[in-house]
Amino acid sequence: MAIDTTRILNEIDKHTKRARNGDAAKTRDSVVAIRALCDLLLEDEQSLNDIPAPRAVPRSSLQSQTVTAVNKLKEDDANGDSLFEF
């Protein structure tokens, strides 16, 4: 799920205004938030470029597995070979 770029840029603007009007601690917090938002923008842009195209799996690489019953459990009150027969 990608976040709209405009929304992130609006958040950066909001934190820029707070950084200019706040004291040193608030300025630092706002700058950290701006950095995180910029990283989010760059990461989102990079992930769009890095999405691999789906590729087909060759049929020969698929292995079929067979299950063989070696020892059947025999009980006196069982009705048959089905798993659903009790």
| Sequence ranges of the domains in the chain | 5-51
Q: How far apart are CA 65 and CA 46, in angstroms?
A: 40
- Give the pair of three-digit tokens for residue 82: 């089905």
Q: What percentage of the chain reaches a pLDDT higher than 90?
A: 34
State residue 44's pLDDT score.
73
Average pLDDT over residues 57-83: 61
Average pLDDT over residues 37-62: 68
Out of 18-27, 44-53, 61-70, the most confident range is: 18-27
pLDDT score of 8 more than 80: yes
**pTM reported for the whole predicted model:** 0.51
Q: How far apart are CA 40 and CA 4, in angstroms?
A: 11
- Rg of the chain on CA atoms, in Å: 30
